[in-house]
Each structure stands twice: as structure tokens, then as C-alpha cells.
Amino acid sequence: MNFNFELILFYATVITGLIALFDILFLAPRRKRKAGAEAKAKLPIIIDYARSFFPILLVVFLLRSFLFEPFRIPSGSLEPTLLMGDFILVNKYDYGVRLPVVHKKLFGEGKPARGDIIVFRWPPNPSVDFIKRVIGLPGDKISYINKELFVNGEKVPQEMLTSSIFEDENGEAREAQEKQENLLGVKHKIFIDPKKSSRDYYNIVVPEDMYFVMGDNRDDSADSRYWGFVPDKNIVGKAVLVWMSWDSSKTGIRWGRIGKAIH
């Protein structure tokens, strides 16, 4: 079951705010008259909670709606760049400020760049958030042949680094080739599973206001190769920083990843 935390936070902020406002305007003066000028009237528990929590909820709602929102990496589709258990901050204003809940852009003309890692609402089910790397911009022609990328007819270079072991989403250990890919100037690491076959794609043209995205763990990622393009309106923001990382297999904090910038 997927919970829309943004909507829950919005309703909680509105409800506590209305209760607090109603109390300030109508109930508090009545209590004061009834209790006497010097006596301090005791607040009903619901009103007490509403007035206490409303400022906190409002600040959290504004921060996560317009500045930064925290996310947890739930899968290994972006390994080795992002690991399962990473907690990241997502910049909400680089691509334009949007209204919360309805997600209508208010202002700002920023657009994702090739190589950016973005969080977006998954097109087949917008209640689910996905995170992938931008490979193709509007108008780009993308091919993926024998596990190699071609952007606008130009082959994206891959340099072999080492062999690695990673855990897939089922917790099974798998071997992968760790390579460095140069995505037209954006260098980043990828995983290729030599034992797993992949489908080839030829000259996919990215439509206007759409983006083609892929995971860095190329053979263990559900991305645009399988379910299509990401509309600009579905974009939540740009992943910028790992603020916490928890290794569940070792039940410990990955201290070396805290504060790591995301590229």
C-alpha cells in the first residue's frame, strides 16, 4: 500500500490550522470570560494539540514543498551511484517551483540536464515515486545496443573498472562489471550484468516535454526502456545529497556516505 505523505501532511496542516484559528477567534475569548480575568483556562486536549503541532507541521510542509524533500532509496536500480538504504535530499526549486498537491508550476524555467538524477512520479502510477538518471532530453534520439548507449548517433564511452558483487531487489548476490560511463561530458559509474540479456532499442526519439531515464544498474532497473518517457509535469526534483545511509545487512550506518554529493 502506498501512502501519499504529501497529501496527509497537507490535510494535517490545514486541519490543525483551522482548529487553532477557530480557537483563537471564538473559543479562547469565551474561555477567558468564563474563567475570569486572572484565571488561566485549561485548553481542551484537541485544541491544545492543534495549537502545538500546527506551527511545526506548517514549517515542515513549506520546507518539503518548496525547498528540499527527503527520500529513501528503496532499490538497487541506481547502484553503484546510490545504494539501498541511502537517504537523500531532493532539490525542489531547480526545475521550477510547483504548488504542492496539485503540482502546477508557479515560476522558474529550469529544466533537467542530461546526467541529472531526478525523482519523479512514475507515469504508470503517479502515486509511486521513482528515481533515475536522465539520459535523453526532448528531441534526443536514443539507442541502446549490446548494453551500450548512443545519444544522437554518438556512442557513449564506457571504461571497464572492476568486477563487483551487488544485491538485487530480492537480496540475492549477483556479479556485475563496474564501468565508468561518459554521458556526453557527465562521468558516472554503472553496473553491467554480463550474464543477463537485454533488449536492444534503436533510434527512440524523445517527445517534447518528455525525458528518457535509466538506472545506473543497467540490468536491474525498470526504466524508460520498459514503461516509456517521463513527462515534465511528473518531475519532483533533483537528487543532490546523501544525508544518511543505513546498511541493513550489517545493521550499521555507512558513515563515509553521509554528506556525499550526488552526481
Task: List the pLDDT tens digit at each of the 263 positions of the chain.
Answer: 466 888 999 999 999 999 999 999 998 888 877 766 555 667 889 999 999 999 999 999 999 999 999 999 988 899 999 999 999 999 999 999 998 888 888 888 899 999 999 999 999 999 899 999 999 999 999 999 999 999 999 999 999 999 987 766 666 777 899 999 999 999 999 999 988 888 899 999 999 999 999 999 999 999 999 999 999 999 999 999 999 999 877 779 999 999 999 99
What pLDDT score was predicted for residue 111? 95
Q: Write down the H helix ranges in the chain.
A: 5-22, 28-35, 45-66, 224-227
Distance CA 245, CA 149 (A): 30
What pLDDT score was predicted for residue 115? 97
What pLDDT score was predicted for residue 1? 47
* Residues 42 and 11 sit within 8 Å (Cβ to Cβ): no
* Nine-digit cell string for 136: 535523453
What pLDDT score was predicted for residue 40? 62
* Residues 85 and 74 sit within 8 Å (Cβ to Cβ): no
Q: Bridge-partner residues for 87, per DSSP?
A: 72, 244
Distance CA 149, CA 182 (A): 10
Q: Among residues 92, 132, 147, 238, which one is catalytic? A: 132
| CA 23 vs CA 17, 20, 40, 131, 210: distances in Å | 10, 5, 15, 43, 48
For the whole model, what pTM was predicted? 0.88
* Residues 54 and 189 sit within 8 Å (Cβ to Cβ): no
What pLDDT score was predicted for residue 36? 63
Q: Bridge-partner residues for 242, per DSSP?
A: 88, 260
Instruction: Reply yes or no on whether 77 is catalytic.
Output: yes
Q: Among residues 65, 77, 221, 245, which one is catalytic? A: 77
* Nine-digit cell string for 156: 557513449
Task: Count the Cβ atoms, other than its own, within 10 Å of residue 31.
Answer: 16
What pLDDT score was predicted for residue 168? 65
Instruction: Reply yes or no on whether 132 is catalytic.
Output: yes
What pLDDT score was predicted for residue 133? 98
